[in-house]
Amino acid sequence: MEKIYIHEVGPRDGLQVEKRVVPLAEKVSWIEGVCAAGIDIIQLGSFVNPEKVPQMVDTDSLFRYFMKNKPSGVTLSGLVLNEKGLERGMNCGVEMFCFGVSASETHSLKNTGMTTSEALRRTIPMAKEAIAAGKKVQASIQSAFGCGYEGPIDPQKVLDIVEEYLNAGICIISLADTAGHAQPQQVEGLFGTIRGLDSSVELACHFHNTYGLGLANCYAALKSSVTYFESSFGGLGGCPFTKLPAGNVSTEDLVHSLQRMGLRKDIKLDVLISVASEVGRFFDRELPGFILKSGSIVDFRGGNG
């Protein structure tokens, strides 16, 4: 089996809908914990207007700090929506740029103010610029499995966007279940079709737990040769521009599931649980993650306990 990469998106997707703004020092502490746990990729934030998303006001500062203070095996990623964001990311040390276009016209307009085709025409040149600069690039298709406003999404529309990405030389393509509508058979089918378009493509997934199928969909993605899995500490998160925002798959739950299957035993699950506990204490509420509440039945050194 190919290496499985865990992409922690808690500092961005996990926090963007939270009303209580997290101080920089608190974010640094949580991210340092995620680094210490052995997570592969950490999405420190998005380069957006802080008036619209106040939690992202310190994104540039986080990148500058962690460019000097992170383990060598950790990749720092950032979400970019426009040219100004790309410029900011280039200036502060983003190692992996994440771009995205929604397959839902309604979600696209609410999220970016652009139609899907308009967003795609804007995204492709930015992705090419980042690739030319030697940066790692991932492009996602949001609402790939359904939309809270529009309902089912035509798979062909998703595949048409994939073809645009492939033609632009983007080799990491993510399907994001923004509304949480995905189910395992659908996941296997769509990822399998994409693999048939280009056997060399690296596949990524981003599932929300709106209807309780997040981990089941992760397993379906794993069976479909997906190698990049996005998750959030404690299961925090949700897109503020979808109809029913709900949390991401919890990083601790995902790692616990993988370790029960004998995978990614190198990740320190106890450290991840500790980080999620800190996050829960900060927000003073119980977070959605299951392992945080139930405890692990995996030996923290890896394997079944």
- The single-letter code of the amino acid at 65 is Y
* 132 within 8 A of 90, measured Cβ to Cβ: no
CA 272 to chain centre: 16
- Scanning 133-212, the segments in alpha helix (DSSP H) are 155-167, 184-197
Q: Which residues contact 125 (CB under 8 A, 6 or more apart)?
A: none
Residue 286 burial by CB count (10 A; 0-12/13-18/19+): exposed, middle or buried?
exposed
**Is 205 assigned a catalytic role?**
no
- Active-site residue, selected from the candidate residues 98, 205, 218, 239: 239
| Residue ranges in the chain modelled with pLDDT below 50 | 243-244, 302-305
Q: Residue 17: its pLDDT value, please?
A: 85
Q: Residue 2: its pLDDT value, please?
A: 73
Report the alpha-carbon distance of residue 55 to residue 24 in Å, rounded: 10
Q: pTM of this prediction?
A: 0.94
- The single-letter code of the amino acid at 115 is T
Q: Residue 300: its pLDDT value, please?
A: 52
Q: Residue 298: its pLDDT value, please?
A: 78
Report the alpha-carbon distance of residue 107 to residue 113 in Å, rounded: 9
Q: Residue 110: its pLDDT value, please?
A: 85
Q: What structural domains does the chain harbor?
A: 5-294 (3.20.20.70)
Q: Residue 302: its pLDDT value, please?
A: 43
